[in-house]
Homo-oligomer: A and B are copies of this chain.
Amino acid sequence: MKKGSKAAEPDTNGIASGAPRPDARRKYDPEQTKRNILDVATQEFSAMGLTGARVDAIAERTNTTKRMLYYYFGSKEGLYQAVLEKVYGDIRALEQDLHVSELDPVEGMRALVEFTFDYHDRQRDFVRLVTIENIHGAKYVEQVKSFKGRNVTVIHTIEDLLSRGIAAGLFRSDVDAIDLHLMISSLCFHRVGNRHTFGTAFGRDPSHPRLRARHRAMIVDAVLRFVRKED
């Protein structure tokens, strides 16, 4: 499946080319090894937490051995941090694709909320890892360089939407961008992160498609009502 996806890459016909072939089935491919470990680790940490995760369990589901895990990531905690870094990097990449500045304030706000909702709804691992980090007082994410201040992008987006909405007489002027971000996050995060206790308490699974659609609409509605200027 993975192999041969690039038909353009010619076979060397027995005459070895001097340069290394990047797509060849190499025995040593550190990048792939690292990625493989990271992917498995993401699942394990997300499922079991930092202390609950077992290095052996991660290694077992990997193409390599436990030893390589230490070779590349130094320690269990180092691996956990690498997972955090990757996961936070992923969401940032996606956020860039959202061009709300091209939409009018109301539609832009709706798009932002829907994106946030969908992201959390789909990326349960992300939600769980953030939860786990909070159990640990965020002390690991603090050491992740790419984290500090990374949410500035979202805040800028929100500030842009708010100021354009205010200028257009659509939005109220007393809303703080970070507070609003917290509100949107809360609404999108909680129903995913706490869906188990919620399900047990009310016999309702928030991830059921019908409920999901309703929640999505409800949250968009709530946010728009909150920012809307009343006359």
Residues of A participating in the B interface, judged by any CB pair closer than 8 Å: 1, 4, 18-20, 48-52, 128, 130-138, 141-142, 147-151, 155, 176, 178-179, 182-183, 185-187, 189-191, 193-204, 206, 214-215, 218-219, 221-222, 225-226, 228
Q: In the complex, what's the smallest C-beta–C-beta distance from A31 to chain B, in angstroms?
A: 15
Q: Which residues of B contact A221 (CB under 8 A)?
A: 226
| Cβ distance A39 to chain B, nearest Cβ, rounded Å | 20
Q: CB distance B138 to A179 under 8 Å? A: no
Neighbouring B residues of A183 by C-beta, 8 Å: 187, 218-219, 222
Instruction: Please determine whether B149 and A196 come into contact, CB atoms closer than 8 angstroms.
Output: no
Contact B131 A194 (CB under 8 A): yes
Interface centre among A130, A198, A214, by most chain B C-beta atoms within 10 angstroms, is: A198
Docked-complex contact A178 and B191, CB < 8 angstroms: no
| CB nearest to A193 among chain B residues | B134
Complex: how many Å from CA A150 to CA B148? 40
Are B130 and A194 closer than 8 Å at their CB atoms? yes
Cα separation A198 to B183 with both chains bound (whole Å): 12
Question: How far is B199's CA from A182's CA once the two chains are assembled, in angstroms?
Answer: 11
Known: A138-B200, A183-B222. 7 other contacts (CB 8 A): A128-B135, A151-B201, A179-B215, A179-B218, A186-B187, A187-B187, A189-B194
Pairs across A and B, CB under 8 Å, 16 listed = A48-B135, A50-B52, A52-B136, A131-B194, A133-B197, A141-B200, A147-B201, A150-B201, A176-B214, A179-B215, A183-B219, A183-B222, A185-B194, A186-B186, A189-B190, A225-B226
- In the complex, chain B residues whose CB is within 8 Å of the CB of A134: 131, 193-197
Chain B residue nearest to A221 in the complex (CB): B226
The contact of A131 among B51, B137, B193, by CB within 8 Å, is B193
When the two chains form their complex, are residues B148 and A200 in contact, meaning their CB atoms are under 8 A apart?
yes
User: Chain B residue with minimal CB distance to A219?
Assistant: B183
Contact of B186 with A182 in the complex, beta carbons under 8 Å: no
A51 to B132, CA, bound (A): 12
Instruction: Report chain B residues within 8 Å CB of A226.
Output: 221-222, 225-226
